[in-house]
Chains A and B, each alone.
Chain A
């Protein structure tokens, strides 16, 4: 008996084109990063969810510089989809020990520019809730502050792009600055929260201690950690 070779279907490969944003760093890099940071401060969500290509034709970095550049972008949570304009020297991977590079791309064509939000902040609106937010209710407001005249119950949550003001007791969850706004704050007249968050940093009730419990408190972000103090 002879075995017929197993029939295999060929894997289908299809093409697809996306528009990508091109980041083209220029020397000196510290200045370029300062400009980038300024833009991100104005529109924190500028690069969120967009495919990004790094064009290094002008910079022509050596592998060390490229490695540091990618790392610096990484600390800003900017992830690069591919690298364009790399010198031939880079295409040999031998010199890139320990460095995982995004794919090197060639043949990109300029496309009509992608809409980028203007300098001004996206329109901010504040949301005012006259009563209380009850357990199981969730208030999500990405474009500005949320003010609650009553209390926020245990099991309720508020998520705001801006700051959160609670004129009653805060017993549930409050997440401010959800639109990457580290300057957002949370204010409440009676501090008994289950969870607090500002700009994706969170703290649960267990890590808050008991000294502030029941007091009027403000919560803000200071050099990457959540700070809390009484308002009195």
Chain B
């Protein structure tokens, strides 16, 4: 760790600038209420809720905002009764991954 830090002389300020540009672009877009990722999250949940009763705390949502692409991962634990074939082991995890292309602002 220290060796890498000592010899890797890459300055940290460019990293700071890149991180800020990226997050500010997302925040500015989100301030207008047009945050695509958040919209998708809500709509995906709504669609699934039409077919199965989903407990909100059985839903894990992961988000990774990127420069050219953000990924949204929605893990929903479907109740045993909703599955066509009841699995022997813990409730099936149905990963519903949605990726949304985003242009850098």
A–B touching in complex (CB under 8 Å):
no
**Interface residues, chain A, with chain B CB atoms under 8 Å away:** none
**Interface residues, chain B, with chain A CB atoms under 8 Å away:** none
